[in-house]
Protein backbone atom coordinates (compact mmCIF):
# COMPACT_ATOMS: atom_id res chain seq x y z
CA UNK A 1 0.00 0.00 0.00
CA UNK A 2 1.10 3.57 -0.62
CA UNK A 3 2.95 5.04 2.34
CA UNK A 4 4.62 8.39 2.87
CA UNK A 5 6.68 8.45 6.06
CA UNK A 6 8.06 11.78 7.19
CA UNK A 7 10.97 12.69 9.43
CA UNK A 8 10.50 13.77 13.00
CA UNK A 9 9.76 17.12 14.61
CA UNK A 10 12.35 19.88 14.44
CA UNK A 11 13.06 22.94 16.55
CA UNK A 12 15.15 25.59 14.84
CA UNK A 13 16.36 29.10 15.61
CA UNK A 14 15.44 32.05 13.41
CA UNK A 15 17.72 32.29 10.40
CA UNK A 16 18.54 28.59 10.39
CA UNK A 17 17.54 26.01 7.78
CA UNK A 18 15.46 22.87 8.14
CA UNK A 19 15.23 19.75 6.02
CA UNK A 20 12.19 17.50 6.13
CA UNK A 21 12.22 14.09 4.45
CA UNK A 22 9.40 12.00 3.01
CA UNK A 23 10.09 8.30 2.42
CA UNK A 24 7.76 6.84 -0.24
CA UNK A 25 6.85 3.19 -0.65
CA UNK A 26 4.18 0.97 -2.13
CA UNK A 27 4.10 2.46 -5.63
CA UNK A 28 6.32 3.21 -8.63
CA UNK A 29 8.32 6.09 -7.19
CA UNK A 30 9.57 7.63 -10.43
CA UNK A 31 6.13 7.85 -12.02
CA UNK A 32 4.64 10.34 -9.57
CA UNK A 33 5.16 13.82 -8.28
CA UNK A 34 5.26 14.86 -4.65
CA UNK A 35 3.98 18.17 -3.34
CA UNK A 36 4.82 19.95 -0.12
CA UNK A 37 2.08 21.74 1.81
CA UNK A 38 2.30 23.44 5.18
CA UNK A 39 -0.25 24.35 7.83
CA UNK A 40 0.44 26.98 10.48
CA UNK A 41 -1.36 26.60 13.82
CA UNK A 42 -5.10 27.12 13.39
CA UNK A 43 -4.68 28.06 9.74
CA UNK A 44 -5.54 26.63 6.35
CA UNK A 45 -3.22 24.72 4.04
CA UNK A 46 -0.53 26.44 2.00
CA UNK A 47 1.13 24.95 -1.08
CA UNK A 48 4.91 25.32 -1.27
CA UNK A 49 6.00 23.44 -4.37
CA UNK A 50 6.44 20.07 -6.01
CA UNK A 51 8.91 17.74 -7.66
CA UNK A 52 8.50 15.05 -10.27
CA UNK A 53 10.30 12.12 -8.68
CA UNK A 54 11.38 10.71 -12.04
CA UNK A 55 12.69 13.77 -13.87
CA UNK A 56 13.55 15.87 -10.83
CA UNK A 57 11.71 18.84 -12.33
CA UNK A 58 10.45 21.25 -9.71
CA UNK A 59 8.04 24.13 -9.40
CA UNK A 60 7.83 26.41 -6.39
CA UNK A 61 5.34 28.89 -5.07
CA UNK A 62 6.64 32.40 -5.65
CA UNK A 63 6.17 33.03 -1.95
CA UNK A 64 8.89 30.49 -1.14
CA UNK A 65 10.90 30.60 -4.37
CA UNK A 66 14.04 32.06 -2.81
CA UNK A 67 13.99 29.95 0.36
CA UNK A 68 12.77 26.46 -0.54
CA UNK A 69 14.54 23.60 -2.30
CA UNK A 70 12.84 20.29 -3.05
CA UNK A 71 14.99 17.33 -4.06
CA UNK A 72 14.73 13.57 -4.31
CA UNK A 73 16.92 10.50 -3.98
CA UNK A 74 15.55 7.89 -6.36
CA UNK A 75 17.68 5.08 -4.92
CA UNK A 76 16.23 5.77 -1.46
CA UNK A 77 12.73 6.65 -2.77
CA UNK A 78 12.90 9.69 -0.53
CA UNK A 79 11.98 13.31 -1.13
CA UNK A 80 13.38 16.28 0.74
CA UNK A 81 12.13 19.79 1.40
CA UNK A 82 14.66 22.31 2.67
CA UNK A 83 13.52 25.71 3.92
CA UNK A 84 16.16 28.31 4.69
CA UNK A 85 16.28 31.64 6.55
CA UNK A 86 13.62 30.45 8.94
CA UNK A 87 11.31 32.97 10.58
CA UNK A 88 8.93 32.61 13.50
CA UNK A 89 5.98 32.45 11.09
CA UNK A 90 7.47 29.35 9.45
CA UNK A 91 6.29 27.43 12.52
CA UNK A 92 3.90 24.90 11.01
CA UNK A 93 3.23 21.27 10.21
CA UNK A 94 4.80 20.37 6.89
CA UNK A 95 3.17 17.66 4.76
CA UNK A 96 4.25 15.76 1.68
CA UNK A 97 1.47 14.57 -0.63
CA UNK A 98 1.44 12.44 -3.76
CA UNK A 99 0.23 13.98 -7.01
CA UNK A 100 -2.24 11.71 -8.77
CA UNK A 101 -4.18 11.86 -12.01
CA UNK A 102 -4.18 14.07 -15.06
CA UNK A 103 -6.22 16.87 -16.50
CA UNK A 104 -9.03 17.99 -14.26
CA UNK A 105 -8.77 14.72 -12.33
CA UNK A 106 -5.47 15.80 -10.76
CA UNK A 107 -5.42 15.66 -6.98
CA UNK A 108 -3.31 14.79 -3.94
CA UNK A 109 -4.34 11.23 -3.10
CA UNK A 110 -1.96 10.23 -0.31
CA UNK A 111 -0.47 12.43 2.38
CA UNK A 112 2.32 11.95 4.86
CA UNK A 113 1.49 12.32 8.56
CA UNK A 114 3.17 15.72 8.78
CA UNK A 115 6.33 17.04 10.41
CA UNK A 116 6.12 19.75 13.06
CA UNK A 117 8.70 22.49 12.54
CA UNK A 118 8.97 25.02 15.35
CA UNK A 119 11.02 28.19 14.99
CA UNK A 120 12.02 29.49 18.38
CA UNK A 121 14.91 31.41 19.85
CA UNK B 1 -3.38 33.86 -7.39
CA UNK B 2 -6.79 32.20 -7.41
CA UNK B 3 -8.60 32.84 -4.17
CA UNK B 4 -11.04 30.23 -2.84
CA UNK B 5 -13.74 31.33 -0.42
CA UNK B 6 -15.61 28.69 1.52
CA UNK B 7 -18.97 29.28 3.16
CA UNK B 8 -19.87 28.89 5.85
CA UNK B 9 -16.61 28.93 7.84
CA UNK B 10 -18.37 27.20 10.71
CA UNK B 11 -21.32 24.82 10.63
CA UNK B 12 -23.18 23.19 13.48
CA UNK B 13 -25.32 20.17 12.62
CA UNK B 14 -26.81 17.02 14.08
CA UNK B 15 -26.34 13.35 13.32
CA UNK B 16 -28.49 12.46 10.33
CA UNK B 17 -28.60 16.01 8.93
CA UNK B 18 -27.74 16.95 5.38
CA UNK B 19 -25.20 19.75 5.05
CA UNK B 20 -23.75 21.69 2.15
CA UNK B 21 -20.46 23.57 1.94
CA UNK B 22 -19.79 26.02 -0.88
CA UNK B 23 -16.45 26.93 -2.41
CA UNK B 24 -16.22 29.96 -4.70
CA UNK B 25 -13.20 30.66 -6.88
CA UNK B 26 -12.05 34.16 -7.77
CA UNK B 27 -11.81 33.08 -11.40
CA UNK B 28 -12.89 30.09 -13.44
CA UNK B 29 -11.11 26.83 -12.69
CA UNK B 30 -13.09 24.40 -14.82
CA UNK B 31 -13.50 21.27 -12.71
CA UNK B 32 -9.99 21.35 -11.17
CA UNK B 33 -11.41 21.22 -7.68
CA UNK B 34 -10.72 18.79 -4.86
CA UNK B 35 -12.32 18.43 -1.42
CA UNK B 36 -10.44 17.17 1.65
CA UNK B 37 -11.47 16.26 5.17
CA UNK B 38 -9.11 16.94 8.05
CA UNK B 39 -9.40 15.90 11.68
CA UNK B 40 -7.35 17.48 14.48
CA UNK B 41 -3.71 16.43 14.45
CA UNK B 42 -4.13 14.44 11.24
CA UNK B 43 -3.24 14.94 7.59
CA UNK B 44 -5.99 15.87 5.14
CA UNK B 45 -7.83 12.98 3.52
CA UNK B 46 -9.01 13.05 -0.08
CA UNK B 47 -12.77 12.95 -0.51
CA UNK B 48 -13.64 14.21 -3.99
CA UNK B 49 -11.54 15.19 -7.00
CA UNK B 50 -12.39 16.65 -10.39
CA UNK B 51 -15.26 18.43 -8.64
CA UNK B 52 -17.51 15.37 -8.47
CA UNK B 53 -15.45 12.16 -8.47
CA UNK B 54 -15.63 10.20 -5.24
CA UNK B 55 -12.26 8.87 -4.09
CA UNK B 56 -12.01 5.13 -3.52
CA UNK B 57 -13.28 4.11 -0.10
CA UNK B 58 -15.12 7.35 0.60
CA UNK B 59 -18.76 6.79 1.61
CA UNK B 60 -21.39 7.63 -1.00
CA UNK B 61 -23.06 10.12 1.37
CA UNK B 62 -20.38 12.57 0.20
CA UNK B 63 -21.12 14.22 -3.14
CA UNK B 64 -19.52 17.09 -5.02
CA UNK B 65 -20.76 19.26 -7.83
CA UNK B 66 -20.04 22.46 -9.72
CA UNK B 67 -17.73 23.90 -12.32
CA UNK B 68 -16.21 27.23 -13.20
CA UNK B 69 -16.32 29.36 -10.07
CA UNK B 70 -18.88 27.70 -7.79
CA UNK B 71 -18.65 24.28 -6.20
CA UNK B 72 -20.48 22.43 -3.47
CA UNK B 73 -19.75 19.55 -1.15
CA UNK B 74 -22.84 17.84 0.26
CA UNK B 75 -22.87 15.32 3.08
CA UNK B 76 -26.09 13.36 3.39
CA UNK B 77 -27.09 11.79 6.69
CA UNK B 78 -24.22 13.02 8.84
CA UNK B 79 -22.37 10.38 10.81
CA UNK B 80 -20.30 10.96 13.98
CA UNK B 81 -17.05 10.47 12.07
CA UNK B 82 -17.93 13.31 9.64
CA UNK B 83 -17.36 16.05 12.19
CA UNK B 84 -14.14 17.60 10.97
CA UNK B 85 -12.81 20.50 8.92
CA UNK B 86 -13.30 20.49 5.16
CA UNK B 87 -11.08 22.24 2.62
CA UNK B 88 -11.44 22.86 -1.08
CA UNK B 89 -8.38 23.08 -3.33
CA UNK B 90 -7.89 24.31 -6.88
CA UNK B 91 -5.34 22.71 -9.21
CA UNK B 92 -6.14 24.73 -12.33
CA UNK B 93 -3.41 27.34 -11.96
CA UNK B 94 -0.18 27.74 -10.02
CA UNK B 95 0.10 28.45 -7.21
CA UNK B 96 -2.21 25.70 -6.07
CA UNK B 97 -4.47 27.22 -3.43
CA UNK B 98 -6.85 26.09 -0.70
CA UNK B 99 -9.97 27.53 0.81
CA UNK B 100 -9.90 28.76 4.39
CA UNK B 101 -11.77 25.70 5.63
CA UNK B 102 -15.22 24.89 6.98
CA UNK B 103 -15.37 23.49 10.48
CA UNK B 104 -18.29 21.12 10.99
CA UNK B 105 -19.28 20.53 14.59
CA UNK B 106 -21.94 18.52 16.36
CA UNK B 107 -24.95 20.54 17.48
Closest partner CB to A108 (pick from B32, B46, B100):
B46
pLDDT, tens digit (0-9, with 9 covering 90-100), for B62-94: 999 999 999 999 999 999 999 999 999 999 999
Q: Are A28 and A53 in contact (CB under 8 A)?
A: no
Residue ranges of B 61-100 with Cβ closer than 8 A to chain A: 87, 89, 91-92, 94-100
Other CB atoms within 10 A of residue A11 CB: 12
pLDDT score of A116 more than 90:
yes
pLDDT at residue A105 in the model: 87
Q: Between A and B, how many CB-CB pairs are < 8 A? A: 61
Kindly tell me if the per-residue pLDDT of B107 is higher than 90: no
**pLDDT tens across A86-114, in order?**
999 999 999 999 999 888 889 999 999 99
pLDDT digits (tens, 9 = 90+) for A56-80: 999 999 999 999 999 999 999 999 9
Q: How many residues does chain B have?
A: 107
B24 min Cα distance to partner chain A (Å): 16
Residue of A6, A44, A102 to mutate when probing chain B, most B C-beta within 10 A: A44
Q: What is the mean pLDDT of chain B?
A: 97
Coil, helix or strand for A28? coil
> Measuring CA to CA, which residue among B68, B80, B62 is closest to residue B20?
B62
pLDDT of residue B28: 97
Inter-residue contact A3 to A26 (CB < 8 Å): yes
B57 touches chain A (CB under 8 A): no
Average pLDDT, chain A: 97
Determine whether the interchain pair A104/B31 forms a contact, defined as Cβ–Cβ distance below 8 Å. yes
- Whether the CB-CB separation of A47 and A99 falls below 8 Å is answered with no
Give the pLDDT confidence of A15-46 residue by residue, as tens digits.
Answer: 999 999 999 999 999 999 999 999 999 999 99
A95 forms bridges with which residues in the sheet? A37
- Chain A contact residues (CB < 8 Å to B): 35, 44-47, 59, 61-63, 95, 97, 101, 104-114
Residue A83: predicted pLDDT: 98
Which helix H or strand E contains A65, and what residues bound it?
A: none
* From A62, A106, A112, residue closest to B91, measured CB to CB: A106
| String of DSSP letters for B26-71 | SS--TT-EEEEEE-TTS--EEEEETTTEEPTT--TTEEEEEETTEE
Which residues of chain B make contact with A97, given a CB cutoff of 8 A? 43-44
Q: What is the pLDDT of residue A101?
A: 86
pLDDT at A102: 85
Task: Determine the Cα–Cα distance for residues B76 and B97; give it in Å rounded to an integer.
Answer: 27
- Looking at residue A7, what is its pLDDT? 98
Nearest-angstrom CA–CA distance, A119 and A116 = 10
Contact B98 A109 (CB under 8 A): no
| B26: nearest Cα among B101, B90, B86, B85 | B90
Amino acid sequence: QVQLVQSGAEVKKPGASVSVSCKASGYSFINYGIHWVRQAPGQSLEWMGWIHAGSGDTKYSQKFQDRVTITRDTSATTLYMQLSSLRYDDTAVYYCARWYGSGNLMTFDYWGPGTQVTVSS
Amino acid sequence: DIHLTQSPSFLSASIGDRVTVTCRASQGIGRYLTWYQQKPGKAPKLLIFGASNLHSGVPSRFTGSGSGTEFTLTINSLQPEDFATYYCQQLNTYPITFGQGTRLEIK
